[in-house]
Structure 1
Amino acid sequence: MYMFFIRCFYFYIDIYNFFKIENILKGLHNLESNRQSTISKETRHLSFIRGKFDVLKKFEAFQELEHLRTFLRVLSLSEYVIFELPDSIGGLKHLRYLNLSFTQIKLLPDSVTNLYNLQTLILSNCKHLTRLPSNIGNLISLRHLDVVGCSLQEMPQQIGKLKKLQTLSDFIVAKRGFLGIKELKDLSNLRGKICISKLENELRIEYYGGRKFPNWMCDPSYTKLVALSLIGCIRCISLPSVGQLPLLKKLVIKKMDGVKSVGLEFEVKLNIENCPEMMPEFMQSLPRLELLEIDNSGLPYNLQRLEISKCDKLEKLPRGLQIYTSLADNNVCHLEYLEIEECPSLICFPKGRLPTTLRRLFISNCENLVSLPEDIHVCALEQLIIERCPSLIGFPKGKLPPTLKKLYIRGHPNLKTIPDCLYNLKDLRIEKCENLDLQPHLLRNLTSLASLQITNCENIKVPLSEWGLARLTSLRTLTIGGIFPEATSFSNHHHHLFLLPTTLVELCISRFQNLESLAFLSLQTLTSLRKLDVFRCPKLQSFMPREGLPDMLSELYIRDCPLLIQRCSKEKGEDWPKIAHIPCVKIDDKLILEQ
């Protein structure tokens, strides 16, 4: 790793501004990914174009480059699987540009603040990064700082010393009062957009012991509240009239056992959880669940997201879920997202059509739900996710909306079939539907399908070779497992081999207890295949076509397949020479690379 930084495999320079082009070209060399080439000993400047999976062997040629300059200006480790940086990075005194985006780093070493010439620091989407070095003010030349998508809790106190800063993607206000937006007052060169978060426009009250909330919550000074969370206030019998908060976008109510009334007019998001004592008879007048009856006109017209969770005694949903039937209603419903989770007493939806604005419906762990909305097929749903509703046996009128793009069905032991004519469906996942009898024509018509996952559906009898998958020319990802428990191969008496769509990029095969061979899948024809994942196939011992695996394959994962693992053992297994060229090989979660 020391040579990795010090011998400068990255070196870019503006040749038009500093040197004549004919002079610098004499000492330039380019090392392209996946190509081994001889490098002249006289090379002074070198650039490296990385591949997704690079190995140290590629840099062996660097050892004899005595004239290679060490004045590294640009270093990009974007998307590399690294968890930390060595302290030696602080020795790259000439570094101008450092890109660590999409890496797994959790902390930057303090030595980074020694990079006095650093002008650009890219940390976007470092999701595990929680803080920046306290001495960041030492980066006196820094002009661009990008921390979008990080998990920073606050900004370092010296952020105000970065006088040359021109772009700052985010500024996180400290919760404990030392660092506010006043730190930006001296950054006179800032331009473009900046996102300031954790301002005092959120109020969270937990485990308040009174029966009524204090009057100050309706004070005009709180009218700019955007988010209000009320959690664990078990003695409260009523909630504040949040209709006096015109900017409120998010209301979270959790573990409010005794609440009986709430004012609700302006919410955009409503989240209700852990209210086991809510009774249907008083919920008709409560604007927090089916409480959402405002002046008998149904849901608040501008409500966009409704989540109902862990309401054990809830038997019916609010009547306001259906669309308005009168032309006199001037307010158009805006509900787009409806989530219902862990309501074991819920049996059915109210009569009437769902709002035409509804795009996503998520239903989970409602064990007594016997039916979906009766006119669900005429709404404009794009996503339907139904998980662990064992009493559900089918779909109303055997249909679903033709606008549907994503359909997830999981944990429905009594479900026997799925509707057809889903021509716009792009993502289909079916899991743990033990009695599902999937007919071939249902899949053949899904011509827009890009991702298909069918696992643990043991009742499927139609052989895979008759599914007509080759006709799905938009398919990119295929996952199958836990079906055909007695099958030893994917062929039948009439078909010796069959074709998967050549558009496949990822293929996962799992949980086939008696499967012995994949030879009939014609893997060699999958010219676009980049990822192959095989796991929990204890009897599988052959998956290699005579022609070899596709040239584009860059990731191979094998888990819990003892016979196959033995054949693919590094340098010892019979099939190792056939997979040694694959950049990333993982066997039982252990990464194996040819170093």
Structure 2
Amino acid sequence: MAEPVPFGIMERLIAELASPALDEIRLKDTLLLVKSVLLDAERKQENNRPLTMLTTSLMIFKPKNECVLVSSDMQNISGNILHQSYIEDDLRGILFSRGIFRVRTILSPVHGVGAKDEVLLNAWISRYKSLRFLDLSDSTYETLPHSIAKLKHLRFLSLRNNTKIQTLNASICKLLNLQSLLLDGCTKLEILPQELRNSINLRQLGITTKQSVLPESDIAKLSSLEFLCIKKCDKLESLFVGRKLPNLRTLELVETLPSCFQGSASTLEALAIKECNRLESLPEWLSNPSSLKSLQITNCPNLKSLPSDLHRPALKSFQISDCPRLQTTHQLKM
């Protein structure tokens, strides 16, 4: 049986990283996803009582020995470390203990600081066969090695805000346990990886691409997908016309506003529209989702009006901010 993910250890890592000395560290978005993915994985194992008890013991007795902030002044990383957080982008001098193979988590939590050493990336992939969590946000890799497909246990992969990568090979689609794939902010990415349909356990997907039409036949096969973020897709014309994502609950549109979104509008529970300069009125498809519980509209400077029928019984939270052309700034909770 698969080993349970040490969610409690991750919570302590989050607490340590959020100390006052590290106020500038950008943890919120990434670590909320970390907690969500790892907690879900642990819940699936909660019937395995012996392993759960072992995890609890580790959380109580060995938290600080399993988590480390990696910086250039470190000379060695000990073999019992499970969770590494890299706070500098040039760490070529770091030495790894020969016995360090059990690492589960690699984070890059500092905004604007990401991995750039391909040798280091290849070392992670070759050594850490049990890696669950790989955060390459703000990295400068132009491609990923095919060997990444060897990380069979990987559940989270982020390339957020990598402005160098143009293509992704299909190797990442062989990561069948992957639950989160974040490619939003990859502004040079030409197309999404082929065979995306194979990522059958994907629950969270972030996209930035130059495509005008997404590979909807592939994405529609992601039956577990609950969260979709589409960011800076300037050429995107429409979303899922005639296709359905049966479990999609949250849609986030950032600097992107497709003219049509039909396939899963009726199942949406949360919608966020951010930084859409072209938005003058809400799209017609927004009048359809009867299940919508939360609506957030932020920094849309040309938004002029709201539809009169926007308030529905299911809508519990409605927030609008930084939309100066509206007569007032609304923040309604119902």
Kindly provide the amino acid, as one letter, of the partner of residue 131 in structure 2. L
- TM-superposed CA distance for 1:593, in Å, is 7.8
Kindly provide the amino acid, as one letter, of the partner of residue 282 in structure 2. L
Kindly provide the amino acid, as one letter, of the partner of residue 412 in structure 1. C
Q: Percent of counterpart pairs with the same letter?
A: 21
One of 213, 228, 238 as aligned partner of 1:452 = 228
Tell me: CA distance 1:411–1:373, structure 2 relative to 1, closer, same or farther (3 Å). same
Which residue matches 1:508? 272
One of 356, 360, 368 as aligned partner of 2:133 = 360
Kindly provide the amino acid, as one letter, of the partner of residue 501 in structure 1. A
Which structure's residues are more often helix, by fraction? 2
One of 281, 289, 293 as aligned partner of 1:526 = 289
Which residue matches 1:206? none
Kindly provide the amino acid, as one letter, of the partner of residue 483 in structure 1. T
Which residue matches 1:374? 146
- TM-superposed CA distance for 1:361, in Å, is 1.0
Task: Confirm or deny: 8 A CA contact 2:200 2:223 kept in the other structure.
Answer: yes
Task: Confirm or deny: 8 A CA contact 1:427 1:450 kept in the other structure.
Answer: yes
Which residue matches 2:252? 479
Q: Is residue 2:162 matched to residue 1:389?
A: yes
SS in 2 for 1:441: helix
Task: Confirm or deny: 8 A CA contact 1:387 1:411 kept in the other structure.
Answer: yes
Tell me: CA distance 1:386–1:366, structure 2 relative to 1, closer, same or farther (3 Å). same
- TM-superposed CA distance for 1:483, in Å, is 2.2
Kindly provide the amino acid, as one letter, of the partner of residue 164 in structure 2. S
Task: Confirm or deny: 8 A CA contact 1:251 1:271 kept in the other structure.
Answer: yes
SS in 2 for 1:376: helix
- TM-superposed CA distance for 1:541, in Å, is 3.8
Task: Confirm or deny: 8 A CA contact 2:265 2:286 kept in the other structure.
Answer: no
Tell me: CA distance 1:395–1:562, structure 2 relative to 1, closer, same or farther (3 Å). same
Unaligned runs of 5+ in 2: 1-18, 20-55
Task: Confirm or deny: 8 A CA contact 2:228 2:248 kept in the other structure.
Answer: yes
Tell me: CA distance 1:551–1:435, structure 2 relative to 1, closer, same or farther (3 Å). same
Task: Confirm or deny: 8 A CA contact 1:500 1:521 kept in the other structure.
Answer: no
Tell me: CA distance 1:269–1:444, structure 2 relative to 1, closer, same or farther (3 Å). closer
Which residue matches 2:100? 300
Q: What is the TM-score of this pair, normalised by structure 2?
A: 0.64
Kindly provide the amino acid, as one letter, of the partner of residue 384 in structure 1. L
Q: RCO (CA 8 Å, sep 6+): is it higher in 1 or 2?
A: 2
Q: In 1, distance between residues paired with 2:209 and 2:201? A: 26
Unaligned runs of 5+ in 1: 1-150, 152-194, 196-200, 202-223, 228-247, 284-288, 311-340, 492-496, 570-586
Task: Confirm or deny: 8 A CA contact 1:477 1:506 kept in the other structure.
Answer: yes
- TM-superposed CA distance for 1:366, in Å, is 2.7
**1:406-455: CA deviation from partner (whole Å, max 9, x where unpaired):** 1111332221122321222111123xx46355333243222211111112
Which residue matches 2:238? 463
Tell me: CA distance 1:451–1:366, structure 2 relative to 1, closer, same or farther (3 Å). closer
**1:211-258: CA deviation from partner (whole Å, max 9, x where unpaired):** xxxxxxxxxxxxx9974xxxxxxxxxxxxxxxxxxxx434555452xx
Q: Is residue 2:192 matched to residue 1:423?
A: no
Q: In 1, distance between residues paired with 2:127 and 2:70? A: 25
Which residue matches 1:537? 300
Kindly provide the amino acid, as one letter, of the partner of residue 517 in structure 1. S
- TM-superposed CA distance for 1:362, in Å, is 0.8
Tell me: CA distance 1:558–1:373, structure 2 relative to 1, closer, same or farther (3 Å). same
Task: Confirm or deny: 8 A CA contact 1:360 1:382 kept in the other structure.
Answer: yes
Q: In 1, distance between residues paired with 2:263 and 2:62? A: 58
Which residue matches 2:184? 410
Q: What is the TM-score of this pair, normalised by structure 1?
A: 0.39
Tell me: CA distance 1:522–1:226, structure 2 relative to 1, closer, same or farther (3 Å). closer
